[in-house]
Structure 1
Amino acid sequence: MTTTSVRARPWTRSALLAIELRAARLHEHRGLIELARKIGVNKSTLSAWEHAERTPHIEDVAGILGALGVVGEHKARILELARHPDSESIIFGRRGLPRHFAVAEVCALAAERIVDWHPLLVPDLPRTVDYATSVARYSPPRTRSKVEHVHAHCDANSTILNEKNVCVYIGEQAFTHPLGDANVVAEQLRRLIRIQQTNRRVSVRVVPIDVGSHVGFSGTFTAYQTGVGQIVHRPLSCCGEFMLDGDGLYTNLDTQLGDTALTATDSAAFIARHVMRLATAAS
């Protein structure tokens, strides 16, 4: 089995492939030495593949997946990454099969820190099922399978919030012009307050509308700081684009948001005021 030469910085597909391979091995509780021996490569080679220092050929990837017993949609997703690995970005997903949800979850599990930003809505990670379902119904295409995937995705996000360091940035417009039923939005805002109060690893901060409009030109994004680099997920309706933050654009946006957002304490008070406003409007 052969590998490509070492790169100073991996391509996006190579980075995602490395994350997926490591996640698959850990999910099956296989040690690095054990798996390397089973597929007939050196431990150092397998480690280099899992850290995006080298890129395995698709035959090597297929051998790893076979040894781990990875099948079905999971196998197809990883093999897709192994094809044409020299790519700056990749878009996952099609109607009825939002593969990008699964890729985002694997990136989140590999991340040391996550930044979740939306200028107009509550971002993805802290959404309640009802709020996420409401957003999905307003966003084309409107399909039942899309909503079903949203439910599973929310469950996975709850686990991620409990395990990772997360900074959630929410544009002020998400509160001044909320989407959907007032009771659904109010419960979503209450959840943001509960997260802030009970989870010290998660920060929820409101970005003033003038700053949010400026940073919002970059669009919605979730940034995952991983061992193979910062991977950025940009949602696009029922699919999602993933890319490495090679030029540091999203790192700079994270800094801008952090410098200009309300403090966590002030954000909690801001959110509480809007909960009261929505409760009054719904009564």
Structure 2
Amino acid sequence: MGNDLDSGQDAEVTDARREFAEELKSARELYDPKPLSQEALGKRVRKSKSTISRVETGKGPIPPDLPALLDRVFGTDGKFKRLYEEIVARSFPSLYRKRMALERAAIVIQEWSPTIIPGLLQTADYARYLFKGSAPRAGEEEVSALVTKRLIRQAILDGDTPPDLRVVLCESVLRRRFCPPEIMRRQLRALLEAGERPTVRVQVLPLDASGHLFSDWPVSLITSPTHQVSVCVENFMLAGIIDGPDHVRTALRTYDELTSEALSARESARMIKEQMESLS
């Protein structure tokens, strides 16, 4: 995924930032029983007056934890969180924005990954090492921004009506060591905890499983509220969303084969725990 925005995307991000700033200023000045100064608001959300000022003028990044704090102070029922997610979404190229929109509306997400933990289940530290490896010349601020975007996608799992998430991982994902053992241990622990959620199932495909159509690349099958399925595939700097009925049927059949070949959720959790405990 490229990091440069074209002029159209840049304008869209600017518009979304402006809307966030205007809503913040309005909420602060109309606060009941009396308006809040930037300094007073800063104290309530544990930020400096200068941070509030920068956000209201659209200068500098918005602290990732600020939207939820603003919603709490103003009682805005997630409005600032939604505005912030829109800012992040508009910073992605259009194809990835379409995928994120599909994810936000999904009732079922089925993931297959032959190489890494899928983004929806990554910890911040694990994601950081991935981005550092894929963009070695990126500065710390750029990497942190990419990690923040990755984590914001995960908000769909914490909503009132999260999608059913089904994940099948190649066993090699558990054994790959591109990050320090402690970070991988925390990632595997997070994977186990995710699998305990009633809406999440994690399965591991053993290394000796038969070859299949998805062997070479990660695939996501995203089901909409109208039960339409889109197949999302990624490879290096390319990504695609496939909606053709024949291709979707083939992808669903392949995913069914994967789940039948994979270890059960209980056996998978046992393998993940064993691998986590083996790291030193």
State TM-score, norm by structure 2. Answer: 0.59
For the residue of structure 2 that corresponds to 1:190, the secondary structure is helix
For the residue of structure 2 that corresponds to 1:211, the secondary structure is coil
For the residue of structure 1 that corresponds to 2:120, the secondary structure is coil
1:35-114 to 2 correspondence within 5 Å?
97-114=92-109
Q: Counterpart amino acid of 2:133?
A: Y
Give the equivalent residue in structure 2 for 1:257: 258
Give the equivalent residue in structure 1 for 2:118: 123
Of 222, 225, 229, the match for 1:224: 222
Give the equivalent residue in structure 2 for 1:149: 146
CA contact (8 A) 1:117 1:170 kept: yes
Note closer, same or farther for the CA distance 1:261–1:203 as it changes in structure 2 (3 Å cut). Answer: same
Query: In the alignment, does 2:199 pair up with 1:201?
Result: yes
Note closer, same or farther for the CA distance 1:276–1:160 as it changes in structure 2 (3 Å cut). Answer: same
Aligned-residue sequence identity (percent) comes to: 20
Runs of 5+ in structure 1 lacking a partner? 1-73, 79-95
Separation (CA, whole Å) in 2 of partners of 1:142 and 1:169: 32
Separation (CA, whole Å) in 2 of partners of 1:124 and 1:190: 15
Query: In the alignment, does 2:154 pair up with 1:160?
Result: no
Q: Counterpart amino acid of 2:152?
A: D
Kindly state the Cα deviation for residue 101 of structure 1 after the two structures are TM-superposed: 4.3
Q: Counterpart amino acid of 1:176?
A: R
Higher relative contact order at CA 8 Å, sep ≥6: structure 1 or structure 2?
1
Query: In the alignment, does 2:129 pair up with 1:134?
Result: yes
Deviations 1:113-154 (A, max 9, x none): 101111121122111111112112222575343651332222
Q: Counterpart amino acid of 2:203?
A: R
Note closer, same or farther for the CA distance 1:159–1:109 as it changes in structure 2 (3 Å cut). Answer: closer
CA contact (8 A) 1:131 1:188 kept: yes
Note closer, same or farther for the CA distance 1:98–1:131 as it changes in structure 2 (3 Å cut). Answer: farther
Q: Counterpart amino acid of 1:265?
A: R
CA contact (8 A) 1:118 1:169 kept: yes
Q: CA RMSD in A?
A: 2.9
Q: Counterpart amino acid of 1:255?
A: D
Kindly state the Cα deviation for residue 189 of structure 1 after the two structures are TM-superposed: 0.4
Separation (CA, whole Å) in 2 of partners of 1:172 and 1:245: 30
Separation (CA, whole Å) in 1 of partners of 2:100 and 2:263: 28
Give the equivalent residue in structure 2 for 1:176: 175
Deviations 1:172-195 (A, max 9, x none): 011223332211111110001111
CA contact (8 A) 1:166 1:202 kept: yes
Deviations 1:24-57 (A, max 9, x none): xxxxxxxxxxxxxxxxxxxxxxxxxxxxxxxxxx
Runs of 5+ in structure 2 lacking a partner? 1-85
State TM-score, norm by structure 1. Answer: 0.59
Separation (CA, whole Å) in 2 of partners of 1:212 and 1:138: 30
Separation (CA, whole Å) in 2 of partners of 1:115 and 1:134: 24
Note closer, same or farther for the CA distance 1:156–1:183 as it changes in structure 2 (3 Å cut). Answer: same
Separation (CA, whole Å) in 1 of partners of 2:137 and 2:99: 21
